[in-house]
Amino acid sequence: MTKLSVNINKVATIRNARGGNIPNVCRVALDCELFGADGITVHPRPDERHIRYADVWELKPLLRTEFNIEGNPTPEFIKLVKDIKPHQVTLVPDAHDAITSNAGWNVRKNFDFLKAIVSDFQEIGIRVSIFIDTDLENIELAAKTGTDRIELYTEPYAELFPMNREKAIEPFIEAAKLARQLGLGVNAGHDLSLENLSYFHTLIPWVDEVSIGHALISDALYLGLNETIKQYKNQLI
């Protein structure tokens, strides 16, 4: 079954807008687990404008589901991940000033760098996923780094979906098929929502995990967190 990992960055964004500890990031994460989420994702950035490094430390002993830390593998990020030892690290090539993730890795250009980091994390028992687009050569090279999984960057799918869902999903099916043939696990994330998730999952049912934050937290403002997580889980049946 495809797992749902809830990205709680947006919860931290709301907290940070006023200071203090409302909403409480840890409480929300634990409620997500209680309501059926299979994992929690955080993406700490250098400026700590949403999830802070201190949040990651506070979350680690509390969570009972899979913990996924994603981000650009700067020296500070690498140290954090090695110290925390989450179940999974997702390597994302974010610029320091990026509002949100907006591209996957150019694996050819960064091959040696990625291969070394993948090996370092795997040596201490952390599963590694590389954030990537649907370029098939890129996926072949990702497999050669030794990574356990790739995470398909799904914003292009989400943007085209309202106009032409068949065209939107086509490159993702081909990418996911190739990844499976190469022995890679497949995750997916970015702009997946209640509108487009079921179709994605129906046509690529072997996806291991979807990581969803912005849409899910936004939907929770209207539906409540419990009902929202139930509805997202229902898209993955």
The active-site residue out of 66, 70, 151, 209 is 70
Residue 93 tokens read as 């090539």
* Residue among 33, 43, 50, 151 flagged as catalytic: 43
Catalytic-residue membership of 174: no
Residue 100's pLDDT is 55
Below-70 pLDDT ranges, the chain: 95-102
Distant-in-sequence contacts of 137-140, Cβ < 8 A, 24+ apart: 137/108, 138/104, 138/105, 138/106, 138/107, 138/108, 139/175, 139/178, 139/179, 139/182, 139/184, 140/178, 140/182
Q: What is the pLDDT of residue 94?
A: 78
In the residue annotation, 43 being an active-site residue is answered as yes
Report the number of distinct structural domains present in the chain.
1
Q: Which of 50, 190, 201, 209 is catalytic?
A: 190
Q: If DSSP states are collapsed to H, E and C, what string results for the chain?
A: CCEEEEECHHHHHHHHHHCCCCCCHHHHHHHHHHCCCCEEEECCCCCCCCCCHHHHHHHCCCCCCEEEEEECCCHHHHHHHHHHCCCEEEECCCCCCCCCCCCCCCCCCCHHHHHHHHHHHHHCCCEEEEEECCCHHHHHHHHHCCCCEEEEECHHHHHHCCCCHHHHHHHHHHHHHHHHHCCCEEEEECCCCCCCHHHHHHHCCCCCEEEECHHHHHHHHHHCHHHHHHHHHHCCC
Instruction: Give pTM, 2 decimals.
Output: 0.95
CATH classification of the domain holding 22 = 3.20.20.70
Give the pLDDT score at 141.
98
The pLDDT value recorded for residue 101 is: 56
Residue 10 is part of which domain span? 3-234
Encode pLDDT of 135-172 as tens digits: 999 999 999 999 999 999 999 999 999 999 999 999 99
The question of whether 96 is a catalytic residue gets the answer no
* Per-residue pLDDT at 112: 98
Per-residue model confidence (pLDDT) at position 103:
77
